[in-house]
Amino acid sequence: MGNAFFVVWRESLEAFLIAGILYAWLQGNDSSGRGKHALYAGLAAGAGLALLLGWALLSVQDELTGNALEAFQIGTLLVAAGLITQMVLWMRKNGRQMKARLHADLSAAAEKSGFVGVAVVAALAVAREGAETVIFLYGMSQEGDYSALIGGALAGFAAAGATAWLAAKSLARLNIALLLRLSSILLLVLASALFVAAIDRLIGAGWLPPMLDPVWDTSLLIDDTTKAGKLVADFSGYRARPALTTLLAWAAYWLLVVIGYRRTRP
């Protein structure tokens, strides 16, 4: 539940901020009110596209069995980990210019295509965040606790709305930039956990050799088969008895993240 809450909170907060930026631009550039109606239609269309992706993923899963299903689910974990990492690095490099870029895109779209262009910009912006959320949640759903996943997702969405509203109304001294930076670090930790889960499943399916299994045993300190240990493992990728292949993959992931961070300095 905690992972779902955090991911949905972060992605939904970005979507709310994008919607707020677009709304603010229309406030100053559209006196007719038709632009706002187009904005609302675009936001709804973006959310609909994200839900359509979720339906497609579930439909594909229902058609697969055996090794094909295992490969599909492992691939989804890898895609989710890659998307989280890419999103964090992109925001690190472009986050400060996001408002200006959205305003420029909206201005150009409104000039070329009128209110249809406004709706398209809004739909694409929200669909991107929604699609990422759907893929993340699908990857997490492979743990099997759907009720906790749904509860965490709904709570995360509500918390994102509250966070954005408080920031917009200045009812709390919320430093959104700091929140996003801190949450980016946690997102990378979560991405590494999804990546480790995919590597473990590749080893379990016999598609990757473990090389040495286990390298060590720290179950006396934190046992990842207990409820508390599983929470730590699901969020951080911790393994009490890791295979050497898993450790090397985890180290390679963080090496790439460090390189990416250095190359995306704002």
- When divided into structural domains, the chain yields a total of 1
The pLDDT tens digits along the chain (266 residues) read 567 888 888 888 888 888 887 787 777 776 677 778 888 888 899 889 888 988 988 888 888 888 998 999 899 889 989 988 988 888 787 766 766 777 677 677 666 766 677 778 788 878 888 888 888 888 777 765 667 778 888 888 888 888 888 777 765 556 667 777 888 888 899 899 999 999 999 999 999 999 998 999 999 989 988 888 887 888 888 999 999 999 999 999 999 999 998 888 76
pLDDT for 27 equals 78
Distance CA 18, CA 12 (A): 10
Whole-model pTM: value is 0.80
**Which two structure tokens, joined as six digits, stand for 252?**
């390679």
What are 181's two structure tokens? 């930076």
Range of the domain at 221: 2-263
Instruction: Tell me the C-alpha distance between 25 and 36, whole Å.
Output: 10
For every residue of the chain, DSSP letters joined together read -HHHHHHHHHHHHHHHHHHHHHHHHHHHH-SSSHHHHHHHHHHHHHHHHHHHHHHHHHHHHHH--HHHHHHHHHHHHHHHHHHHHHHHHHHHHHGGGHHHHHHHHHHHHHHHHTHHHHHHHHHHHHHHHHHHHHHHHHHHHTTS-HHHHHHHHHHHHHHHHHHHHHHHHTSS---HHHHHHHHHHHHHHHHHHHHHHHHHHHHHTTSS--SSS-S---TTT--TTSHHHHHHHHHH---SS--HHHHHHHHHHHHHHHHHHHHT--
Return d(Cα 177, Cα 251) in angstroms, integer.
28
